[in-house]
Structure 1
C-alpha cells in the first residue's frame, strides 16, 4: 500500500497550532526554517509564515498535538516535531563521559541481542526492552556525543545486524541533538534507528550473509523486511508514528528510486530522510559479508556526492556538520606519519579535531596513547590530518587503549 501526503492549500490567516506545513508559496531558503516542512507547535512559527507568505500547503494527515509526550505505544496522530529550538551544550568532558557511554553501549548491545533473538524465535517484540536500551543511550549522547562515538567506534559486535541497530540509534540521537529537537523527539528517532531493520529477523540468515550478487527474486525477499518490520511493530503495539515512518521509509530515496513505495522528495517524512542517510553511512563504514568497510570520511563523501539524487541536499549537509569532516571515532593518518583516532570535534575548526596518537611515525603501536588538540598547536608545530583510515588499517587496534 502506498503512503502519500495529503496536501491542502490554505490561507496563512487560517493557520493553527498542530498543523504540519509541507509547502509554501515561496522557496524555503527565503525563510528561517532549517529544512522543508514545519510542525506548527509555536505561535511564533505561525507569525513568521503569516509575514512571509500568502498561502501555504498543509499535510492533512499530519497533526501535531500540543504537550503530548511521545512514547512507543502512542496511537494518536502525534507527528515529528521538526523545530530546532533546543540548544544542547556538552555537560561532560569526553574522558569523564566515556565510562558512562561504554555502559550505555554495553547495555544497548546486550538488550538488542536478546531482543533480536526473541523475535527470531517467534516471540513478541518487547516495548519495555526497547525503552531500556534507548533511554540510557540518548542520555549519554545528550551529555556528550563525542564520548559515545569514540567508544562506539572502538567496540563492534560480531553481528552486523546488532551493531548496525545500536550505531544507527546513536547516530539518530546525535543528529537530533545537532538539529535542536526536544528530547522526546530524539528518543523517537533513536528508537526508530534501533528498530528499522528488525524485520530482517524474519528473513533467512544465509540470504543476509550471502557474499555474492543476489537474484531479483532474492532482492525482493530482502526488501520484504520493511513489511515484516511494520508487522512486528504492530504485533507489539508500537504505534509511535515517527518510529513507524522510519521503519517504513528509510529505504526510500529522494529521486524516487527507493522502496517499498517509490516515494520521492518531501513525500518521504523527514525522519525517514534522516535515517536513510544514517543507514547508508553506517552500512558503508561497517564490514559486510560482500565487501570491506570504507572509512567514515569516505562514507560521508559518497553520501555528499549523492545529494539531491539519493538524499535531500539540506539534510546531507546538516548530517556532515553534525559528524564533522573526520567523525569522532575515526582512524586518521597525520602529516607526521602517525596513526591517531579522533576523540572530539573542534566546532570552530572542523579540520583540526582533538585526537589520540596511537603509533609512531613508522606505524609501530605505542604503549600508551598521546592526546593532542590539533587546533592548539602553533604554526611551528602544526600537524595536519592527511587522510582517513578504515578500521584495521596498519593493524592498529585502538580498542586496547580505551576499552
Structure 2
C-alpha cells in the first residue's frame, strides 16, 4: 500500500526498509494517531497492511483477558497522574534519596550476617510507590538523572520503581503494586552471600562459577524466610525472576504460565534494567535499544503479551532516556505523550554540535508548530557525548 493511503485503525506489518532504521520499537505498528501515519509517510513509500488485524486496542485488556484469566490478579484500576511532573519531581527525588540510604543499610546488614529488616523494606518502598502512583514520569526522570556508582543498589531501587510503574499500568490494586515493588527491591539480595570478586568478574565464568551465581536465588529465599516475610508475590518474584518463557531459565526450568505473573513481570524488568546499565563486563546500551532487543526475544525468552505491555508502559523512548534529535541536539525525555508516543516532552541539553548548554530548554515535541518538525533520531546510552544532565537538573 502506498503510504498516502494509510488511515488510523490499520495495522502495518511490514515496511519497505528495515525496522531498525525507524523509531518504532516493534516489528509491526498500530496506527492510533496521525503522528504514526506522518512518521511512516516521512520514512517510507510503500508499506504492507494486515487486513485481518484492525486496531481495537485497550492497553489494560490485551494481557489481562488471557494471561490473567482465572488468577487472583484483578486488573481493574485506572490510574492517572494526579500532580504535574514539576510538582512531583522534588518528592520523587526525596523518595529516591530515602530508598538509597535504606537499601545501603539493607545490603550492609545482610553482608554482615544480620537479618533483613522488614521495617526497612517498608520504609524504602512505600514512599517510592506513592510517588510512582502520583506521577511515574517524575520518578523516572529523576531516576534517570542520578549518578549510579553502585550497580547492586541502583538495580534494586530501579527494579522496585519499574515494578510499581508496571503494576500501575496493568491496573493492579495498590497493595499488589507494593508487593511488586518490594519484590523488585529484594530479588537479588541473595547476591550479598556471594563473593564480591565473582560478581565483579569481567571474564568468562566457569560452569562452577555460573552455578554459584545462580545460587543467589536460593540464598535470597533463605534471607527472606529468616525475616518472616510471607508475602506470596514477593516470594514468587525471588523464586522465578530468572525463569524464562521457553523453559530455558533457572532454577526450576518453568515455562509459560507455570511462571507466576509477578515473576514474569520482574524477570522482564530485571533484564531490561540490566541491559541499560553499566556492568563490570560491558557498557550500557540505550533504553530504547534494550526494549528492541527484548522484543526480539518475544515468545521465546519472554511472554510476547508481557513484552508488549512493558513497551506501552515505558514508551518508545522511556522517561529519563537520553536521545539525539534530528537537529543534532542531545535531550532527555521528561514525560511521555500517550497520544503521540514518538513525540514526548524533552529537555534539550546541548547545542547541535553536542556542546553542553549552561541551562536546559524544555520542549514538547508534540506541540511544535506545523512548520517546525523535530524528531528523535535515536536513543543514547548513559555517558554518550559526556552530557551530564544531572548538572543542570539536580543542583
Normalized against structure 1, the TM-score is what? 0.82
**Secondary structure of the structure 1 residue equivalent to 2:306:** helix
2:215 maps to 1:224: yes
Question: Is the 8 Å Cα contact of residues 101 and 147 (structure 1) preserved in structure 2?
Answer: yes
1:381 — aligned with what?
372
Residue 136 of structure 1 deviates from its aligned partner by: 0.2
1:246 — aligned with what?
237
2:247 — aligned with what?
256
Q: Distance in 1 between matches of 2:94 and 2:63?
A: 39
Q: Tell me the number of residue pairs that the alignment of Structure 1 and Structure 2 aligns.
A: 334
1:279 — aligned with what?
270
2:86 — aligned with what?
95
Correspondence list, 1:3-402, <5 A: 33-39=64-70, 81-402=72-393
Q: Distance in 1 between matches of 2:388 and 2:155?
A: 20
1:50 — aligned with what?
none
Question: Is the 8 Å Cα contact of residues 35 and 315 (structure 1) preserved in structure 2?
Answer: no
Residue 35 of structure 1 deviates from its aligned partner by: 4.0
Q: Distance in 1 between matches of 2:370 and 2:266?
A: 40
Structure 2 CA distance for partners of 1:356 and 1:248, relative to 1, 3 Å: same
Question: Is the 8 Å Cα contact of residues 63 and 309 (structure 2) preserved in structure 1?
Answer: no
Residue 379 of structure 1 deviates from its aligned partner by: 2.2
The superposition leaves residues 237-282 of structure 1 with CA deviations (integer Å, 9 ceiling, x where unpaired) of 0010100000000000000000000000000000000001000000
Q: Distance in 2 between matches of 1:221 and 1:157?
A: 26
Q: Distance in 2 between matches of 1:320 and 1:265?
A: 20
Residue 88 of structure 1 deviates from its aligned partner by: 0.8
Residue 39 of structure 1 deviates from its aligned partner by: 4.8
Q: Distance in 1 between matches of 2:69 and 2:387?
A: 46
Q: Distance in 1 between matches of 2:373 and 2:178?
A: 40
**Secondary structure of the structure 2 residue equivalent to 1:231:** helix
1:54 — aligned with what?
none
Gaps of 5+ in 1: 1-29, 41-80
Question: Is the 8 Å Cα contact of residues 35 and 314 (structure 1) preserved in structure 2?
Answer: no
Question: Is the 8 Å Cα contact of residues 333 and 344 (structure 2) preserved in structure 1?
Answer: yes
Gaps of 5+ in 2: 1-60
The superposition leaves residues 344-363 of structure 1 with CA deviations (integer Å, 9 ceiling, x where unpaired) of 00000000000000001100
Q: Distance in 1 between matches of 2:392 and 2:209?
A: 42
Residue 31 of structure 1 deviates from its aligned partner by: 9.1
Range with bigger deviation, 154-163 or 335-344: 154-163
Q: Distance in 1 between matches of 2:124 and 2:231?
A: 17
Question: Is the 8 Å Cα contact of residues 175 and 322 (structure 1) preserved in structure 2?
Answer: yes
**Secondary structure of the structure 1 residue equivalent to 2:268:** helix
The superposition leaves residues 43-94 of structure 1 with CA deviations (integer Å, 9 ceiling, x where unpaired) of xxxxxxxxxxxxxxxxxxxxxxxxxxxxxxxxxxxxxx42211111101111
Q: Distance in 2 between matches of 1:112 and 1:198?
A: 10
Residue 156 of structure 1 deviates from its aligned partner by: 3.4
Normalized against structure 2, the TM-score is what? 0.83
Structure 2 CA distance for partners of 1:278 and 1:31, relative to 1, 3 Å: closer
Q: Distance in 1 between matches of 2:267 and 2:147?
A: 21
Question: Is the 8 Å Cα contact of residues 34 and 84 (structure 1) preserved in structure 2?
Answer: no
Q: Distance in 2 between matches of 1:354 and 1:31?
A: 27
